[in-house]
């Protein structure tokens, strides 16, 4: 068997391992093993690539792999679970820049390439570049190095359109004559990097689940394009799997907000807060922690609705403690998870898993809503727009039509909140004024700790 055939057989094996790895991610019981299989597939693909005959020097490969492994390992070990969204965003970006660099390196090494290869290099550079800077901006927004608010400026759409059309025109020029157009190629790289920045700055913090999903998809597609450049099957298969995964997640996120992808990407949603809204009248009824404890003590069924505020307040461990005390008291505790709660798909699940909450207590929105009217107390912790009944009732509301968790159907709703401020969408929440709603003002962690103390002292 020739070496080339051996390498390609190994790639097939790696592809199978990726596929099984992803398949096993469909159940929490097998997911961890699935990830291991996938990692082993990657290991195999990398090792077998080192046998490639065109490789004549290993020192730089060794340097790159050593540096990358150390950085990657420590980043993965040290990152706090609440920082997971920005970590994933950053890793995404690194995948993107790697694809850009591969395209560039191939072109630099052999500028005399057929148009087909030139097209694939162009795609790998432009998608890779957008993924890189887009992810870096998303990272900045999520870690609050830059404002999480949408950044808008006059003529933004025009600038974007000019950049997109410009890069396509330059791309066409480049592909027609790759050997003589190094300058144009350099300009394309710069444009792709600017495009990535401009694409993500107008998107607000709470829309980040969509953006991260989309960038995830791009990083896969960039790998795919790089696969076409070097005509390598494994890059195409793996890249396509990731691309498809990102697209599906993007769709799920958009559907959960009842908004189109175009609306998320271009509208600067949430930029204008404190819109005047009609129909929200009445007085919010505040409740003291001690009184809240007495009600919880008598409750048979409690549902917790976590939101991004839970992550901000770092209240997940205190919450788990409260959960245990409630259960010891004979109360059933469940968690209702909205698909876009938090800053990335599944963010709340990871946060609660970190606090040792078993995953079978985390219930999807669609499964918990029908049971909501049997719930004694609904505890809303740091969530706002995803429990806003205006989405169901008020046709003039910007979030009208978005599927929500029907907390107002519970017998009693406790909203843990710092103040009466509006949520990300800048929409007033009529939930706060409902007959069965009580507001517990203050820091979520302190409030929950107070409730825990109530159970312990009595």
Partner 1 sequence: METIAIYLGFILLLSIFLGFELISKVPSKLHTPLMSGANAISGITLVGAIISAGTGTDNRISVLLGTLAVTFATINVVGGYFVTDRMLAMFHKKETGGKK
Which residues 91-110 are close enough to bind partner 1 by CB under 8 A? 91-92, 94-95, 97-99, 101-102, 104-106, 108-109
Question: Residue 229 has which token pair?
Answer: 């450049």
Other Cβ atoms closer than 10 A to 457 = 7
Residue among 331 and 440 whose Cβ is closer to partner 1: 331
Cα pseudo-dihedral 269, 274, 276, 279, rounded to 10: 90
Taking the complex as a whole, how short is the minimal distance between the CB of residue 66 and partner 1, in angstroms? 8
Q: Which of 9, 73, 145, 182 is close enough to bind partner 1 by CB under 8 A?
A: 73
The DSSP-derived string for 399-452 is TTT-----GGGSSEEEEEESSS---TT----GGGGSTTEEEEES-HHHHHHHHH
71 binds partner 1 (CB under 8 A): yes
What residues from 334 to 353 belong to the interface with partner 1 (CB under 8 A)? 337, 339, 344-347, 349-350, 353
Active site residues: 385
Residue with Cβ nearer partner 1 (97 or 378)? 97
Q: How many whole angstroms separate alpha carbon 133 and alpha carbon 197?
A: 5
Q: Which is nearer to partner 1, 190 or 453 (CB)?
A: 190
Q: Of 2, 57, 281, 458, which one interacts with partner 1 (CB under 8 A)? A: 57
Cα separation values, 3 from 53, 299, 327, Å: 8, 69, 61
In sequence order, which residues have a C-beta less than 8 Å from that of residue 210 and are 6 or more positions away? 203, 250, 253, 254, 257, 261, 264, 265
List the interface residues with partner 1, window 177-206 (CB under 8 A). none
- Per-residue binding string, partner 1, 390-429, x by CB under 8 A, is ----------------------------------------
Closest CA to 312 of 268, 363, 348: 348
> Which of 297, 324, 332, 354 is close enough to bind partner 1 by CB under 8 A?
354
Q: What is the CA radius of gyration of the chain?
A: 25
Task: Show the site string, 209-248: x = touches partner 1 by CB under 8 A, - = not.
Answer: ---xx--x--xx-xxx-xxxxxxxxxxxxxxxxxxxxxxx
DSSP string, 102-154: HHHHHHHH-----HHHHHHHHHHHHHHHHHHHHHHHHHHHHTTSS-SS----T
Binders of partner 1 among residues 26 to 55 (CB under 8 A) are 26-29, 31-32, 34-36, 38-39, 42, 45-46, 49-50, 52, 54-55
Q: Which of 200, 289, 319, 362 binds partner 1 (CB under 8 A)?
A: 362
Closer CB to partner 1, residue 83 or residue 434? 83
């Amino acid at each position: 068997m020739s070496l080339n055939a051996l390498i390609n057989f190994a790639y097939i094996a790696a592809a199978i391992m990726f596929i099984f790895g992803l398949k096993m991610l469909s159940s929490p019981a097998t997911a961890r093993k699935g990830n291991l299989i996938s990692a082993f597939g990657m290991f195999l693909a990398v090792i077998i690539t080192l046998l490639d005959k065109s490789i004549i020097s290993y020192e730089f490969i060794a340097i790159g792999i050593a540096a990358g492994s150390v950085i990657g390992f420590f980043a993965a070990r040290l990152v706090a679970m609440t920082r997971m969204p920005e970590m994933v965003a950053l890793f995404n970006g690194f995948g993107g820049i790697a694809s850009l660099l591969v395209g560039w390196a191939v072109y630099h090494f052999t500028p005399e390439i057929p148009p087909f290869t030139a097209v694939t290099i162009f795609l790998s550079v432009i998608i890779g570049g957008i993924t890189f800077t887009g992810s870096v901006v998303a990272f900045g927004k999520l870690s609050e190095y830059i404002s999480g608010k949408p950044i808008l400026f006059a003529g933004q759409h025009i600038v974007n359109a000019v950049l997109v059309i410009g890069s396509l025109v330059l791309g066409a020029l480049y592909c027609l004559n790759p050997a003589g157009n190094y300058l144009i190629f350099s300009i394309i790289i710069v444009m792709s990097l600017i495009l990535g920045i401009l694409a993500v700055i107008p998107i607000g913090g709470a829309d980040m689940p969509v953006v991260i999903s989309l960038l995830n998809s791009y990083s896969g597609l960039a790998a795919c394009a790089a696969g076409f450049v070097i005509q390598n099957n494994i890059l195409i298969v793996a890249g396509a799997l990731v691309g498809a995964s990102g697209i599906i997640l993007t769709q799920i996120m958009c559907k959960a907000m009842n908004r189109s992808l175009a609306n998320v990407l271009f509208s600067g949603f949430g930029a204008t807060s404190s819109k005047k809204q009609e129909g929200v009248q009445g007085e919010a009824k505040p409740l003291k922690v001690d009184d809240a404890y007495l009600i919880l003590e008598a409750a048979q069924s409690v549902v917790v609705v976590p939101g991004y505020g839970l992550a901000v307040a770092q209240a997940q461990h205190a919450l788990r403690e409260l959960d245990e005390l409630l259960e010891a008291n004979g109360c059933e505790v469940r968690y209702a998870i909205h698909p876009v709660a938090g800053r990335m798909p599944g963010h709340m699940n990871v946060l609660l898993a970190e606090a040792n909450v078993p995953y079978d207590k985390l219930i999807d929105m669609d499964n918990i809503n029908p049971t909501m009217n049997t719930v004694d107390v609904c505890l809303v912790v740091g969530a706002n727009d995803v429990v806003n009944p205006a989405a169901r009732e008020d046709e003039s509301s910007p979030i009208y039509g978005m599927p929500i968790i029907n907390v107002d159907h519970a017998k009693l709703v406790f909203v843990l909140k710092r103040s009466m401020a509006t949520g990300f969408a800048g929409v007033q929440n009529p939930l706060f004024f409902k007959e069965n709603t009580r507001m517990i003002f203050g820091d979520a962690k302190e409030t929950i700790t107070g409730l825990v103390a109530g159970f312990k002292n009595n």
